[in-house]
Every structure is written in C-alpha cells, then in structure tokens.
Amino acid sequence: MTPQQPPPKLQLVNTPEYREHYANSVQIRVNLWDFFLMFGTVQQSAPDSVTIQNFQGIYLSPQQAKALLNVLTQNISQYEATFGEIKLEPHSQVSAIQ
C-alpha cells in the first residue's frame, strides 16, 4: 500500500479580467458535451414588458455542472437552516407575458 498523500495546496488567483456582477436571471442550454449558463438581469418597465439583459455566458462540463449542483444544494440547505425556507415566486408573471 502506498501512503496517502496530503491534498495539494489550493491557491485562488483572480485574472485582470475578473468582475463580479449581480444576476437575477439564469438561462441554461444543454448539449452532449457541456452546459451553458447565461446570466443577466431582469428589468420590468411595464406590467406587460420584461427585458432580460444578458451580460455573461459560462460553459461548464457535465462534471462541473454536477459539482456545482452539489455545492449549491449544500449551501442552500445551510442557508435555509440558518435563515428559513427560500420561497420561489410563482411563474405566472413571466408565463403571462410569453
């Protein structure tokens, strides 16, 4: 048996292009090779007019998408245990516009 090696040190470095944004819209496209997440912000200027301004698209491998699902599930569970259930708004507003 080989002795177990310690995990490598992880170093996070932001590139000069790194930016942080707020998104309240995420659209997902899936194909055989990857998942595409498109982030944007929703703006409603009138009851019958919604605009989504997309600002970033990210491709993920299926493995990274599943890892993201696991991380989000764990973090949402911890959030809800601390702050209470996150309730989703009904989709009726968006459905009525389509």
Summarize pLDDT for 25-62 with one digit per residue, the tens.
Answer: 999 999 999 999 999 999 998 889 999 999 999 999 99
Is residue 51 in a domain? yes
- The boundaries of the domain holding residue 61 are 25-86
Is residue 17 in a domain? no
- The structural domain count of the chain equals 1
Write down the pTM of the prediction: 0.75
Q: How many distinct helices (H) and strands (E) make up the chain? A: 2, 3
Closest by CA to 53, choosing from 35, 73, 67, 39, is: 39
pLDDT in tens, 55-91: 999 999 999 999 999 999 999 999 999 999 999 887 6
Is residue 55 in a domain? yes
Q: Which residues pair with 36 in a beta bridge?
A: 29, 59
pLDDT of residue 22: 96
What average pLDDT does range 4-27 have in this prediction? 93
Distance CA 73, CA 69 (A): 6
Tell me the Ramachandran region of residue 49: left when phi exceeds 0, alpha when psi lies from -120 to 50, beta otherwise.
Answer: beta
